[in-house]
Each structure stands twice: as structure tokens, then as C-alpha cells.
Structure 1
């Protein structure tokens, strides 16, 4: 397929070839922990190959999963065993992120993201699907649902971007720590995710490894208008953490409640940007008639 002209192609999404190799090696090792039988596919798209992990019964309804920034399909290791009992799950590695997909980065706010997902769904033989998105993946899922409402049956969003204002205060704090000689990736990860030491431990090594070697997208996420949110025709579930330092979760909850016709919103107290442990809540929403 020809390259979309609205794609920004950075020199490299990794800081070095050795760093890229370390991240990819770690990813392959973590995928050994995928708790259910899975098929790995590489779907050709206009943005390059897209890596997809498929699980669940072949005749079950489809469920497409879109992970967060600086992440990959391991985002769903705690959820997939439950969801794949009821759905044919397709965990998509977003292009330009540290997973198994191409390094291209379609321009946010353009038609490019939707066109890429069109190619992915076409390659998977999916005409309609439920979508679950986290953070940046939540932005992707919202963008697609607004542009292709007839293709999305249900939409579940965990700490989605593009609704509440994107905060930058935590970035200044991280920069100050670096200037004062106290910068610590583990400390920054704890600040951003809102996890305590006990809960952070299992994922800390991966977070530190990734952001030691990976160049994340740094542009602000485009914010969807009230009219765009109001155009969503499918049932929508939004779960946010009240202590999110990256996105204004209070504003996200308010705008979704006021503008989305069929919305369910949960604000979790004492939770930061990492909205975890919502497997059962999301499953119930996906199965509601």
C-alpha cells in the first residue's frame, strides 16, 4: 500500500539500535506469559505492518484492544483471560509505539489514524467491533468511533486522552528533579501512574526499560469538541482516576457525562493515570444488552 501523506516519520522511535533490541527482546519474553492460546498476525497497512495478537473463540463477537503510549499488548495481560472467554479479542500494537508494529506515526487529528485502523480491520475481516482503549489508545478509539460510528458497537475507555485537558505540571516536576540531580525513572513512573511501590513493582522494570530507550510522542493530543462527543451513537464506558497527573480526569468525566448520549462514567478515588483492575467492570459493560 502507498504511504499516507499525513504520516510523520521520525528518524527513529528508539534512541539506539541496541535499545530497540532490548525492548523487543523484553516484549517477546513478556508475551510468553500470555495466559490464553493466541495467534500472532502481521497485517499489512498503509502505515506498514501492524502486529495483532488474536485470542478467544473464532465464532465469538470481535473485541479490538488499543493500548496506551509507550506500551504494547502486554497492557492487557491482566484482562485477556477473562475477555477472551466471551469475545474474539484482537490486541493491536499501535504503530509508532514500542511493540511489534511499524515505527510510522500517523498525524494525530488527521484522517490518518482512522485510515490505518480501516486497514487493520479489513485485514482481520472485521466489519463491526467493540473497542477498548487505554490512554493514547483511548484517544485512537474515540477518534475512530467519531469518524466511523457505524463500525463501533460499544466503546470502553480507560483514562482516555482527548477529552480532559492534558496536564504538563508533572513534566516540570520531573525536569526539576533532573536539574537538581535527583532524577529517577522509577520515581517518575510512580508519579505518572499513581501506583504505590507494591503495585508498581511488577511493571517497573518494563517502564524503566522502555523510557530509557524509547522516544515517546511528545505532541499534545487534539481535544475532541462537544459536538464530536455528542455524535457518538454507541454505548460508551469511561473509567478515570481522580489523581491522574497527566489528564484532567474531572473534566473528562464532566464532558463525557454532559455530551455523550449513552455514557457510563466511573471516577476512581486514589487512582492515578494507570487505571488497572477493571476487567470485570469492562466485561459487564461489553456484555450488557
Structure 2
């Protein structure tokens, strides 16, 4: 399935994406990771052996969305290696580890308010008036991570 208007458009987008990845502020590795829906491209960075942190991108975005934040998180966290699990709502509700969910109140892709029901033990923060593309949340996320891993 072609998501671009033309092959030349696809090449131009990929070229610009590669240019942005050259600006990645910390040492990193570009890898492909298997998922339930096929391979996905991942930029892995951070300290080896540190607690893993997965930063998925939002819809219509890519890994470059983390350029402004990744240097902060790479100081205390490392990449997760291997396949990411897929959880049912029931399994998500039983997660025992600290979980932070930040979602937009007007998200057209996710049931943001239903997330509280699906993740009763999670710290769910719904941002008023915000859609699927969230504003930068570096400090609140880092505060959560540092508190959760003390």
C-alpha cells in the first residue's frame, strides 16, 4: 500500500527523515523490531542495562518527534529490545507496575476518557482541549519516571 502521492514524494520524505535522524542528540542505533503487525523502525538509545523506556510516536508522526526530549530520557533509561507485547483491556487492567498515560481530551483515535476505566491503577492525565497530537510533556513524564523508579 502506497501512502505517498508518488514514488518521488516518498523518496523526498524519507530523505528529509534521514536528515532529521542525523540530528539525534545522543548515540543511537537504528533497528527494525518485530511487532504483531510486521516490522517497525526503532531508534534505540540510552544506557545499556538501564530500565527500558519505549517512546512510541503518535499517528502521523515518526521517531523525529522525540528529538527535543530524548537526551533527557536517555540519561536514565535504555532501549527495550525484542517484541513488544499486545495486551487486552483485561490484561492492561491488571498491570502492577507504574503506568502513565497522557492523552488528549479530543483525541479522535483513542477513547481517552475510557482509558481510566481500562487502566484503573494507572496515572491517566487527559489534557483539556487537546487532540491526538500532544504538546511537549518532557518534564511531567520525567517526573513520573524518576518517582516510579526510585
Is the pair's TM-score, using the shorter chain for normalization, greater than 0.5? yes
Q: Structure 1: state its 5+ residue gaps.
A: 1-9, 91-119, 123-140, 147-223
Q: Which has the larger radius of gyration?
A: 1
Which aligned runs of 4 or more in structure 1 are off by greater than 4 angstroms?
42-50
Answer yes or no: is the 8 Å Cα contact 2:115–2:124 preserved in 1. no
| Alpha-carbon distance in 1 for matches of 2:67, 2:106 | 24
Structure with the largest fraction of helix: 1
The correspondence of residues 68-217 of structure 1 with structure 2, limited to 5 A, is 68-89=58-79, 121=82, 144=85, 146=87
Deviation digits for residues 182-241 of structure 1 (CA, Å, limit 9, x no counterpart)? xxxxxxxxxxxxxxxxxxxxxxxxxxxxxxxxxxxxxxxxxx54x344233332211122
Is 1:41 aligned to residue 2 of structure 2?
no
What secondary structure, in the 3-state scheme, does the structure 1 residue paired with 2:54 have? strand
| Alpha-carbon distance in 2 for matches of 1:242, 1:44 | 31
Q: 1:240 aligns with which of 90, 98, 103?
A: 103
Q: Structure 2: state its 5+ residue gaps.
A: none
Answer yes or no: is the 8 Å Cα contact 2:46–2:75 preserved in 1. yes
What secondary structure, in the 3-state scheme, does the structure 1 residue paired with 2:65 have? helix
TM-score (norm 1): 0.44
Is 1:283 aligned to residue 142 of structure 2?
yes
Deviation digits for residues 90-110 of structure 1 (CA, Å, limit 9, x no counterpart)? 6xxxxxxxxxxxxxxxxxxxx
| Alpha-carbon distance in 1 for matches of 2:86, 2:108 | 26
What secondary structure, in the 3-state scheme, does the structure 2 residue paired with 1:234 have? coil
What secondary structure, in the 3-state scheme, does the structure 2 residue paired with 1:88 have? coil
| Alpha-carbon distance in 1 for matches of 2:143, 2:13 | 34
Is 1:264 aligned to residue 120 of structure 2?
no
| Aligned length, in residue pairs | 148
Structure 1 residue 50: deviation in Å?
4.2
